[in-house]
Amino acid sequence: MRPARALIDLDAVVHNYRHARRLGGGRALAVVKADAYGHGAVACARALDGEADGFGVACIEEALELREAGVCAPILLLEGFFEAAELALIERHDLWTVVASPWQVEALERHRPAKPLDAWVKLDTGMHRLGLAPAEFEDAWRRLRALDGIGGMVAMTHFARADELGQARTGEQLDAFDQALAALPAGTPASAANSAGLLAWPRARREWVRPGLMLYGTHMLDAPRAEADALRPAMRLESAVIAVRELAAGEPIGYGGGFVTGRPTRVGVVAMGYADGYVQYAPAGTPALVDGRRTGLVGRVSMDMLTIDLTDHPQAGVGAKVELWGPGLPVAEVASSAGSSPYRLLSGLKRVPREYSGGA
């Protein structure tokens, strides 16, 4: 059997969720979109069911997968509905929806659901992706509030640069958010923080927080924060050495021959490649662990294999365990060496079988 696998620690996901909720001080929506950032949405939601205040997904297909798996907690469609025809399904499956465009307000005015839907009304405070413009927000809020078909409402926004601790932008986004909230009835529940907002910007902690990446035990903050120290990595991506070769100095390794050995080199071939989601152009030196000890990539990553330097690891032969990221090697560090992000590495995994522990 091919030795590549992703070992998922569901206890770590639960631990990280509890940490996020405690830090937020209110309710926390566990973001499990994109198959829980590669960790398996159904498994993670089941591990958190009965505990999480709700789940965040990208679209109705992801929400229905959770409902079909028996997840009963609230589920919020973070991108709202893409067409009015989805409203019937949203109603039938008791989903919550983001409202981020004027046409969605109109669609809700026309739809008249039999039982009220919860709506999170999204203000664009500077991310400039989804969200109502400040000039549209109050009118949209009041029109929705006037509908019998709308139940709970939450005012929300989303940060563009909360992982940059010295950046003024997050404070400016919060100012714009507070200005819009001031026009709404006192006590209106609000939600601003993603993981970085929650970890690093106490002002962003409102009635609801929306942690995603941190649930999986990592972050992208550009400076240390004690709040991130408690996170436990939820995935170990591992494989094994499947072949070893000894090369003289001056020998090229792999496609393109761009990497040439600078010394006599013992090379380990590992069953992991870009078809698994590993970064195709991860440069030489991108870290990996062999038998728990640090080494680095040599040569270009291929579709199903990559090569690592075993010169200083003479004990490591065929069958030696290789950790590509995990508790011993932060995925954020691998991502940064490989010119990628932990979001991309985790959610981009393909083909690699997942094995679960914990979560009972």
Q: For residue 257, is it left (φ>0), alpha (ψ between -120 and 50) or beta?
A: left
157 contributes a contact to ligand PLP by CB under 6 A: no
- d(C-alpha 290, C-alpha 303), whole Å: 20
Among 181-189, 210-218, 224-232, 259-267, the segment contacting ligand PLP (CB under 6 A): 210-218
Q: How far is the CB of 27 from ligand PLP (least distance, A)?
A: 14
194 contributes a contact to ligand PLP by CB under 6 A: yes
206 contributes a contact to ligand PLP by CB under 6 A: no
Q: Taking CB under 6 A as the criterion, which residues in 4-63 touch ligand PLP?
A: 31, 56
Q: Interhelix angle for 134-145 vs 102-111, to 10°?
A: 10
Q: How far is the CB of 267 from ligand PLP (least distance, A)?
A: 36
Q: How far is the CB of 10 from ligand PLP (least distance, A)?
A: 18
195 contributes a contact to ligand PLP by CB under 6 A: yes
Q: Is 33 a catalytic residue?
A: yes
76 contributes a contact to ligand PLP by CB under 6 A: no
Closer CB to ligand PLP, 200 or 298, in the complex: 200
From the CB of residue 185, how many other CB atoms can be counted at a distance below 10 Å? 9
Q: Which of 37, 122, 216, 255 is catalytic?
A: 255
| Residues 173, 160 contacting (CB under 8 angstroms) | yes
Q: How far is the CB of 18 from ligand PLP (least distance, A)?
A: 16
Among 84-92, 144-152, 206-214, 323-331, the segment contacting ligand PLP (CB under 6 A): 206-214
Among 191-199, 255-263, 275-283, 329-337, the segment contacting ligand PLP (CB under 6 A): 191-199
Q: Which of 17, 33, 37, 278 is catalytic?
A: 33
Query: Which residue's beta carbon is nearest to the bound ligand PLP?
Result: 212
Q: Is 274 a catalytic residue?
A: no
210 contributes a contact to ligand PLP by CB under 6 A: yes
Among 138-146, 207-215, 227-235, 239-247, the segment contacting ligand PLP (CB under 6 A): 207-215
From the CB of residue 83, how many other CB atoms can be counted at a distance below 10 Å? 10
Q: How far is the CB of 252 from ligand PLP (least distance, A)?
A: 39
Interface pick for ligand PLP out of 78, 180, 184, 267 (rule CB under 6 A): 78
Closer CB to ligand PLP, 193 or 290, in the complex: 193
Q: How far is the CB of 59 from ligand PLP (least distance, A)?
A: 12
Print the SS3 string covering the chain. CCCCEEEEEHHHHHHHHHHHHHHHCCEEEEECHHHHHHCCHHHHHHHHCCCCCEEEECCHHHHHHHHHCCCCCCEEECCCCCCCCHHHHHHHCCCEEEECCHHHHHHHHHHCCCCCEEEEEEECCCCCCCCECHHHHHHHHHHHHCCCCEEEEEEECCCCCCCCCCCCHHHHHHHHHHHHHCCCCCCCCEECCCHHHHHHCHHHCCCEECCCHHHHCCCCCCCCCHHHCCCCCCEEEEEEEEEEEEECCCCEECHHHCEECCCCEEEEEECCCHHHCCCCCCCCCCEEEECCEEEEECCCCCCCCEEEECCCCCCCCCCCEEEEEECCECHHHHHHHCCCCHHHHHHCCCCCCEEEECCC
273 contributes a contact to ligand PLP by CB under 6 A: no
Interface pick for ligand PLP out of 48, 213, 297, 338 (rule CB under 6 A): 213
Q: How far is the CB of 197 from ligand PLP (least distance, A)?
A: 8
Q: Point out the residues that are catalytic.
A: 33, 255
Binding site for ligand PLP (CB under 6 A): 31, 56, 78, 158, 194-196, 210-214
